[in-house]
């Protein structure tokens, strides 16, 4: 007799079994048989008790009796049959789930975005210096400086655009940061900008400024490859909202820049994007080309994205400034979706002021991305940051703890011994680099105190942040479900254990109940992070992994800025850059510092970070490329 649906759900609930758990698990266990059956047009093989036993082990839900498993079979087979109609819809990446994540309301019921916003007014301060002797003298100029030159008509947008396109072409063979030049579009935009500026129709500080887009943003008439093999010729018949807003501000799009395949790392289908300070290394990612091109003086600014470090990491490696906005401040319409509850778009530039000018243009709801909120971003570079309470993550500035090296085992093989020694050597090297880099973090605290800042020690909530990371991979696996199901994931360049194809497959074993439980833990995290930012307005921290995980899950804004260059005596970089660490640049490479703020306090965050940047001037350093 066929099991009644309600009885089946009740039975599973009584066993603490996630009812949607076995789709992925049982599918995977029977994968070869299913692929063979599908190829022959045959029905899928029935789920068996043996499969349930194996799936229960994978799900960590204990064991079931033979009678319980027999009771479950009909319901599980029926449930699996429900996947086919959904899969037959071939849902495109642009279709979101029927839920919306808003970090502040979840953290504090009744708080409105406007109540959380600052009360500053938008201002732009910029005055032109003398006309440059050569147009290329402006390659590393800030947006503020370029805007002043354009407004004074000392230079033309067309000249700037041609200069940046020439530099992109010149250095791409060394840094591999361009996927598609948008040259025809850019030259037309630049000519239009010059005509408008000459006619007195000045649109604002981005008018005529050449910029680059991370190639997960749709641009009509050009490929949008997501950096991934199998998507090289993908295109969309519309522009992303951010692109349209920058067009409206008069900015000039000169290139679609690289990203690690499907927004992971710095390896894409055309190679690996390089760090301009040390081209032997990758630029980190996934906003690899955006950070590398800005650092190399090949665009005025760029747009990147972050889900879990994709603005922070390449800005750290390449020594540029990145602003990761509060989740929901910038609409993501027309951008590749990786995680609907964590994806954020933000500017990468050569100064905090530049990032603020760009964010001022691209923020605000668009009526399509339901996560985008009507929070204000009222940027005022003259805001009195001395009124702010400044905290610092004390434990992140402490000396690294003593190493716990792996001890040899009594029955250890020669191969195991070699792996242990290699792991210990790598751990020692990593600690040596952390000890060296700590001097820059401590110098930052000293500089802040010299600026008159009273630093308040604080700590992140003690929560299992790592245990919440599967939320990201579960959403990513859903966003690219068809890639896994059709086997097209084999086209992706990277196929190792730390790459998307493997993560997507693993995510199919993540129970729906555990996904919901992790989201409930995330609600606790939001409440505790809100309480933290009731103590202070800004938090200073090294650009470390723990705060990256915590603040990306909680949706808090971050500003990452260069904090000096390592000296000639710095520890050498490892022979192989595995992409897992950003602090391995070696002598002559940049270090970074991160500033955090409460939800929708992005303007206050920028005002304080800009003050530190003006006091230090590290953003004025740039790599020697020739």
Active site positions, annotated:
214, 286, 310
Residue 194 CB coordination number (10 Å): 21
DSSP state of 364: S
Phi, psi dihedral angles at 539 (to 5 degrees): -125, 135
Strands 271-272 and 267-268: antiparallel
Task: Tell which phi-psi region holds residue 586, choosing left (phi > 0), alpha (psi between -120 and 50) or beta.
Answer: left
CA-atom Rg of the chain in angstroms? 26
Q: Which residue blocks in 199-263 are alpha helix, DSSP H?
A: 241-248
Asked if 231 contacts 215 with a C-beta cutoff of 8 angstroms, the reply is no
Return d(Cα 476, Cα 531) in angstroms, integer.
Answer: 30
CA 564, 168, 247, 291: dihedral to nearest 10 degrees? Answer: -30
Return d(Cα 558, Cα 540) in angstroms, integer.
Answer: 10
Residue 410 CB coordination number (10 Å): 4
Return d(Cα 549, Cα 36) in angstroms, integer.
Answer: 40
Q: CB under 8 Å to 40, separation ≥6 — which residues?
A: none
Query: Largest alpha-carbon pair distance within the chain?
Result: 87
Asked if 504 contacts 533 with a C-beta cutoff of 8 angstroms, the reply is no
Report helix, strand or coil for 218: coil
Asked if 215 contacts 257 with a C-beta cutoff of 8 angstroms, the reply is yes
Q: Which two tokens stand for residue 421?
A: 């020694």
Report helix, strand or coil for 552: helix
Return d(Cα 493, Cα 509) in angstroms, integer.
Answer: 24
Q: CB under 8 Å to 322, separation ≥6 — which residues?
A: 287, 291, 304, 311, 312, 314, 315, 346, 347, 348, 349, 355, 559, 560, 561
**Distances from the Cα of 100 to the Cαs of 219, 407, 526, in angstroms?**
25, 48, 15
Return d(Cα 433, Cα 123) in angstroms, integer.
Answer: 41
Return d(Cα 322, Cα 292) in angstroms, integer.
Answer: 12
Q: Count how many Cα atoms sit within 13 Å of the Cα of residue 324 in the half-sphere of its side chain.
A: 34
Return d(Cα 437, Cα 442) in angstroms, integer.
Answer: 9
Asked if 319 contacts 449 with a C-beta cutoff of 8 angstroms, the reply is no
In terms of residues, how long is the chain? 626
Sole residue written with tokens 């992925």: 24
Return d(Cα 31, Cα 144) in angstroms, integer.
Answer: 56
β-pair partners for 223: 235
Return d(Cα 544, Cα 625) in angstroms, integer.
Answer: 28
Return d(Cα 95, Cα 4) in angstroms, integer.
Answer: 32
**Distances from the Cα of 272 to the Cαs of 244, 315, 317, 499, 580, in angstroms?**
29, 16, 14, 15, 15
Return d(Cα 49, Cα 134) in angstroms, integer.
Answer: 76
Phi, psi dihedral angles at 247 (to 5 degrees): -60, -45
């Amino acid at each position: 007799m066929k099991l009644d649906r309600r009885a089946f759900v009740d039975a599973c609930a009584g066993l603490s079994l996630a009812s949607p758990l076995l789709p992925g698990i049982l599918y995977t266990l029977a994968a070869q048989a299913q692929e063979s059956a599908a190829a022959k047009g045959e029905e899928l093989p029935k789920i068996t008790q043996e499969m349930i036993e194996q799936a229960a082990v994978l799900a960590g839900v204990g064991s079931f009796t033979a009678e319980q498993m027999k009771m479950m079979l009909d319901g599980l087979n029926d449930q699996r049959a429900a996947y086919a109609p959904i899969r037959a819809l071939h849902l495109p990446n642009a279709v979101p789930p029927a839920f919306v994540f808003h970090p502040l309301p979840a953290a504090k019921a009744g708080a409105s975005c406007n109540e959380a916003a600052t009360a500053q007014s938008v201002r732009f301060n910029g005055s032109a210096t003398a006309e440059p002797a050569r147009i290329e003298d402006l390659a590393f100029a800030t947006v503020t400086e370029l805007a002043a030159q354009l407004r004074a008509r000392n230079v033309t947008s067309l000249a700037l655009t041609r200069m940046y396109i020439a530099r992109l072409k010149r250095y791409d063979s060394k840094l591999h940061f361009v996927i598609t030049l948008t040259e025809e579009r850019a030259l037309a935009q630049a000519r239009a900008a010059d005509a408008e500026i000459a006619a007195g129709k000045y649109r604002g500080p981005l008018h005529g400024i050449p910029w680059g887009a991370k190639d997960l943003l749709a641009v009509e008439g050009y490929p949008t490859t997501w950096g991934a093999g199998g998507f090289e010729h993908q295109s969309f018949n519309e522009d992303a909202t951010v692109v349209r807003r920058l067009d409206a501000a008069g900015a000039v799009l000169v290139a679609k820049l690289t990203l690690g395949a499907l927004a992971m790392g710095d390896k894409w289908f055309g190679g690996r994007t390089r760090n301009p300070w040390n081209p032997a290394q990758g630029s980190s990612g996934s906003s690899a080309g955006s950070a590398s091109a800005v650092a190399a003086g090949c665009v005025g600014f760029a747009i990147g994205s972050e889900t879990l470090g994709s603005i922070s990491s390449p800005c750290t490696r390449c020594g540029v400034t990145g602003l990761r906005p509060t989740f929901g401040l910038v609409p993501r319409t027309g951008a590749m979706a990786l995680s609907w509850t964590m994806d954020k778009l933000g500017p990468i530039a050569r100064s905090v002021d530049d990032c603020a000018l760009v964010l001022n243009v691209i923020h605000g709801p668009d009526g399509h991305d339901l996560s985008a909120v009507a929070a204000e971003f009222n940027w005022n570079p003259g805001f009195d940051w001395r009124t702010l309470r400044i905290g610092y993550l004390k434990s992140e500035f402490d000396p690294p703890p003593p190493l716990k090296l792996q001890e040899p085992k009594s029955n250890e093989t020669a191969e195991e011994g070699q792996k242990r020694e290699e792991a210990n050597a790598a751990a020692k090297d990593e600690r040596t680099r952390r000890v060296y880099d700590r001097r820059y973090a401590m110098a930052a605290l000293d500089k802040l105190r010299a600026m008159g800042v009273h630093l308040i020690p604080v700590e992140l909530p003690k929560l299992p942040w790592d245990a919440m990371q599967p939320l990201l991979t579960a959403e990513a696996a859903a966003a690219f479900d068809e890639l896994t199901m059709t086997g097209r994931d084999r086209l992706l360049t990277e196929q190792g254990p730390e790459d998307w194809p493997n993560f997507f497959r693993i995510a199919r074993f993540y129970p729906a109940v555990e996904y919901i439980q992790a989201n409930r833990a995330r609600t606790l995290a939001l409440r505790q992070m809100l309480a933290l930012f009731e103590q202070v307005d800004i938090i200073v921290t090294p650009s470390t992994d723990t705060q990256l995980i915590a603040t990306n899950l909680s949706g808090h804004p971050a500003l990452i800025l260069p904090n000096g260059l390592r000296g000639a005596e710095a520890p050498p970089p490892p022979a192989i850059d595995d992409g897992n660490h950003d602090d391995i640049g070696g002598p002559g490479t940049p270090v970074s510092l991160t500033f955090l703020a409460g939800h929708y306090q992005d303007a206050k965050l920028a005002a304080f970070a800009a003050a530190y940047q003006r006091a230090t001037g590290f953003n004025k350093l740039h790599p020697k490329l020739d």
